[in-house]
Chain A
Amino acid sequence: MLAYATKRLLTLIPTLLAASLLIFLFIHLIPGDPAAVLLGDTATPEEIAALTARMGLDQPIWKQYGLWLGNVLQGDLGTSLFFREPVLSVIAEGAETSILLASMTMLWIVLIGIPVGVLSASFHGSWIDSLSSGLSMFAASVPTFWLGLYFILVFAVGLGWLPSSGFPSIFDEGGLANLRYLLLPSLTLAAPNAALIIRLVRAAMLDVQREDHVRTARAKGLSPARVVWKHVFRNALIAVVAAFGFTFAALVSEAVVTETVFSLPGVGRLVVQSILRRDYPVIQGVILVIVLLYLIINLLVDLAYAWLDPRISLA
């Protein structure tokens, strides 16, 4: 298992490097002089020249990449044009919101997605199955921002149960109760993804149910519940775990929209605002962090996969 983990870690690095190269090149794809772009419209020629020299923008591209990469590895992701602060600290400020939002969302996805998927498969062909399939496909067809706006309309404005925007930190006044600000946003994010998980769990369970070893399990006289959980679900989990990798990717994407709808001070909203403000260092930095996170999550998923399926690591 350790050998497998190491092997996977090693393949991560080239992909990360390649992605970082693309991100680095991003600045140079923007029309105009990179230094001018980075400093914005108000820059004087002297400032531009100074930045050019400091960043080595007059050097060959590959040297620049090296310089940039060196800085990144030391934690220097550049300076935000808008905030005039290091990019890393700007990102760190949004991290709390985004991490909490993602965690709550994953919680709903797992709590709703897995049981409903298992139930659908167990009652395959019944009305339970049809209903949940229909509802989940419907949920996957709804634009997240629309759902968010509707939730605000109904629960925040209409019923007044929950707040509609913002998120005070849980380290501030209010403590954990402030999490209620994340309730609607996390449910909004969870809906389409839970739908996907339901369908995947159901499909995986149905596939596994047909396999011979399930028949062997029944022939032992095991109770139906035990057969479902210990044999069918346990094997279906292998297929489902893979889905958590791209669920995370979907979450990151849609969090961008959801944070905008609910005005949450998270990294997603930061990305959008930075794009609109043309704050390129921040855009670069956030993309880098997100890609790194995504690759790590995928690695963890692969490891979980290997842990669940002995055929992989012990091959």
Chain B
Amino acid sequence: MSAATLGSRMGGQLVAPFRLFRGRPVALAGFLWLLFVAALAVLGAVITPFDPLEIDPVNRLLEPASPHWFGTDHFGRDTLSRVVVGARMALIIGLGTVVVALTLGTLIGVLSAWFTSLGHVLMRIVDVLMAFPALLLALVLMTLLERSVLNTIIVIGIVYTTTTARILYGMSLKLKNEVFVDAAICSGASTASLLFRHVLPNLASPLLVQASFIFAFAQLQAAALDFLGLGLPPEIPSWGNMLAESRTYITRASWLLLFPGAAIILTVFSMNLVGDALRDRIDPRFRDDIAGV
């Protein structure tokens, strides 16, 4: 397959989101929400009515009303503005973990499938890592590292590398047995060329589905880590941190629980819907492999 046709096939898959959501209005709404979140992430503090970091003790714990449509927190900071800039962290964490997990996971999974002896060793290591429940692994890793955005991304990324590697291992094994691989080998293809031009393109759509689920779950893991005080540094406004900080005030100010929580829920839900829609469109032989992260 030439690069041009490959590109156009993948382009066709990616550039037609609206065709993808035909008959799925809720998933389309989810997709639009995600676009909205992305827009907020990019625009950030530029569009917020108040400075998200500005402390204003006089106006602490105000109920939602004009001009603080989402109320204020215990420092008097405007909740709406903070929710808006929290979108940036959500996006960064999401994309970051996807990059880490997919890159490492694909590398490990595909190479393990292709080079069987190496594969046995690597998959055993993956099995051992998978003996540690996800959040626990993240917690343990975070004890070794300082709280930072990068470390959070790395840690959660590593956690999801294991499942991704396993999934890709399974799928690559299936592909390896397909006739087209034998055909390519017969026509003299080198291993590198086989992997890049034949195997990886076939894995593109399942990888996209996996990416969407990782993005979604990473939000939940990051929020949990923030809540426990082991995630992002407290001064960074993320939805998880907002919930962590306001924990003692929620009985008096339930809006502090509602708005950041709703933001997380809507984003995760949307990503799950999109992932589901994508999964139904991918190659049926892989459908069982992507049962979920």
Interface residues of chain A, those whose CB is within 8 Å of chain B, are 14-15, 18-19, 22, 26, 29-30, 134, 137-138, 140-146, 149-150, 153, 157, 196, 199-200, 203, 249-250, 252-254, 256-257, 260, 271-272, 275-276, 278, 283, 287, 290-291, 294-295, 298
Query: Beyond A22-B128, A29-B144, A256-B139, is A275–B230 a contact (Cβ under 8 Å)?
Result: yes
- Least CB distance from A258 to B in Å reads 10
Q: Would A18 and B133 count as touching, CB distance under 8 A? A: no
Q: Would B136 and A146 count as touching, CB distance under 8 A? A: no
Query: Beyond A252-B133, A257-B228, A272-B228, is A146–B247 a contact (Cβ under 8 Å)?
Result: no
Alpha-carbon distance between A180 and B24 when the two chains are bound, in angstroms: 41
Alpha-carbon distance between A250 and B134 when the two chains are bound, in angstroms: 7
B201 interface residue (CB < 8 Å to A): no
B113 interface residue (CB < 8 Å to A): no
Residues of A within 8 A of B127 (CB): 15
Q: Would B134 and A256 count as touching, CB distance under 8 A? A: no
- Least CB distance from A283 to B in Å reads 7
Alpha-carbon distance between A2 and B28 when the two chains are bound, in angstroms: 52
Query: Beyond A143-B261, A275-B230, A287-B136, is A138–B269 a contact (Cβ under 8 Å)?
Result: yes
Interface residues of chain B, those whose CB is within 8 Å of chain A, are 26, 124-125, 127-128, 131-136, 139-140, 142-144, 216, 220, 223-224, 227-230, 240, 243, 247, 250-251, 254, 257, 261, 264-265, 268-269, 272-273, 276, 291-292
Q: Would A137 and B265 count as touching, CB distance under 8 A? A: no
Task: Tell me the nearest residue of chain A to B138, going by C-beta.
Answer: A253
Report, nearest first, the 6 A-B pairs whose CB atoms are least far apart.
A253-B135, A141-B269, A141-B268, A249-B133, A253-B133, A146-B261
Q: Would A146 and B132 count as touching, CB distance under 8 A? A: no
Residues of B within 8 A of A145 (CB): 223-224, 227, 243
Residues of B within 8 A of A249 (CB): 133-134
Q: Would B251 and A153 count as touching, CB distance under 8 A? A: yes
Q: Would B220 and A143 count as touching, CB distance under 8 A? A: yes
Residues of B within 8 A of A30 (CB): 143-144
Q: Would A19 and B128 count as touching, CB distance under 8 A? A: yes
A-B contact pairs, 9 of them (CB 8 A): A137-B269, A142-B268, A150-B257, A153-B251, A252-B133, A256-B136, A275-B140, A276-B230, A291-B132
Q: Would B135 and A137 count as touching, CB distance under 8 A? A: no
Alpha-carbon distance between A15 and B230 when the two chains are bound, in angstroms: 28
Residues of B within 8 A of A142 (CB): 261, 265, 268
Task: Tell me the nearest residue of chain B to A164, going by C-beta.
Answer: B251
Residues of A within 8 A of B223 (CB): 143, 145-146
Residues of A within 8 A of B273 (CB): 137
